A = this chain, B = another copy of it.
Amino acid sequence: MKISIIGVGLIGGSIALKLKKKGIVDFIYGIDNNNEHLSEALNLKIIDAKVNLEYGIKNSDLVILAIPVDAARKLLPDVLDLISENQTVMDAGSTKSGIVNAVKNHPKRSRFVAFHPMWGTENSGPASAVSESFSGKAGVICNKEQSDKDALNLVEKIVESLDMHLIYMNAEDHDVHTAYISHISHITSYALANTVLEKEREEETIFQLASSGFSSTVRLAKSHPEMWVPIFKQNKENVLDVLNEHIFQLKKFKAALEKENFEYLEELILNANKIRGILDKK
């Protein structure tokens, strides 16, 4: 099988490495606006050839979009225009309603499968790609009833080859859940970094004292705006809902401290501790 990967960054690159390792693809065309990334991906043997969009699409059984969600939503209709009825297109974006709505009336909608691998890091670019990135993580396919059965089966095979566990979900539900489980973590992390940068003027002290706890909480604050602004934009309503709740929850801690109500503070912490039971099921 020959595939094209549009966007040879962290996600596209990691998918490429894994599919090659599994021997499920014979040849990978790389397509990217960033020519440096393309050359890097070629050097790293992530892709087998740098090509333009038309050439790559024409010669591939499967086209994978792994670019920021706003760019993917814009590009997908053009990609569908270019494919034939026996080719398949999938994406890997973190929001799903936008892209699904963008092609809902496209005559070749059924050749598209909406996909989101629940994995990422604060790094970007092909040099950050790792073949085992997705192993054991959730791979979500949205609105599967809108895809042709053979297209769906192909993408299912890809997700299994990534060693992910498959979940099916409605695009709207997906965007609500990811607002809670992924998007809000990023906002919290960004805001925490800004808090520390604003108030702790002594950079040297941050550097010297930063513990593993701090590092893990602000790790996501290193994530690039090129990826995250479009996600927040497309999932604005859900993210705002969760952000409002999060501010409300922080105000409970503030009130407990201000009123020196340490029983209430303990209650809030004990409630938060319940997350252990849920996460440790893993």
* Residue A222, interface by CB 8 Å: yes
Interface residues of A, Cβ cutoff 8 Å to B: 118-122, 137-138, 140, 165, 167, 177-178, 180-182, 184-200, 202-203, 205-225, 228-229, 232-233, 236, 239-247, 249-254, 257-258, 260, 262, 265-266, 268-276, 278-279, 281-282
Q: Give every chain B residue within 8 A of A210 (Cβ-Cβ).
A: 118, 181, 278-279, 282
Q: Give every chain B residue within 8 A of A193 (Cβ-Cβ).
A: 271-275
A189's nearest neighbour on chain B, judged by CB, is B217
Q: Please name 22 pairs of A and B residues whose Cβ atoms are closer than 8 Å in the assembled complex, sorted by A.
A: A137-B211, A137-B212, A180-B195, A180-B196, A181-B196, A181-B205, A182-B211, A185-B213, A185-B217, A188-B250, A190-B269, A191-B250, A195-B242, A195-B246, A196-B275, A203-B278, A216-B219, A217-B220, A218-B279, A229-B266, A229-B269, A236-B257
Complex contact B254–A244 (CB within 8 A): yes
Complex contact B192–A188 (CB within 8 A): yes
A117's nearest neighbour on chain B, judged by CB, is B211
Residue in B118, B254, B272 whose beta carbon sits within 8 Å of that of A194 in the complex = B272
Complex contact A214–B181 (CB within 8 A): yes
Complex contact A253–B218 (CB within 8 A): no
Q: Give every chain B residue within 8 A of A199 (Cβ-Cβ).
A: 180, 241-242, 245
Q: Give every chain B residue within 8 A of A192 (Cβ-Cβ).
A: 184-185, 188, 246, 249
Instruction: State A167–B210 Cα separation when bound (angstroms).
Output: 12
Residue in B213, B220, B229 whose beta carbon sits within 8 Å of that of A220 in the complex = B213
Q: Give every chain B residue within 8 A of A118 (Cβ-Cβ).
A: 209-211
Q: Which of A121, A206, A253, A273 has the most CB of B within 10 A?
A: A253
Residue in B120, B187, B272 whose beta carbon sits within 8 Å of that of A190 in the complex = B272
Instruction: State A167–B245 Cα separation when bound (angstroms).
Output: 39
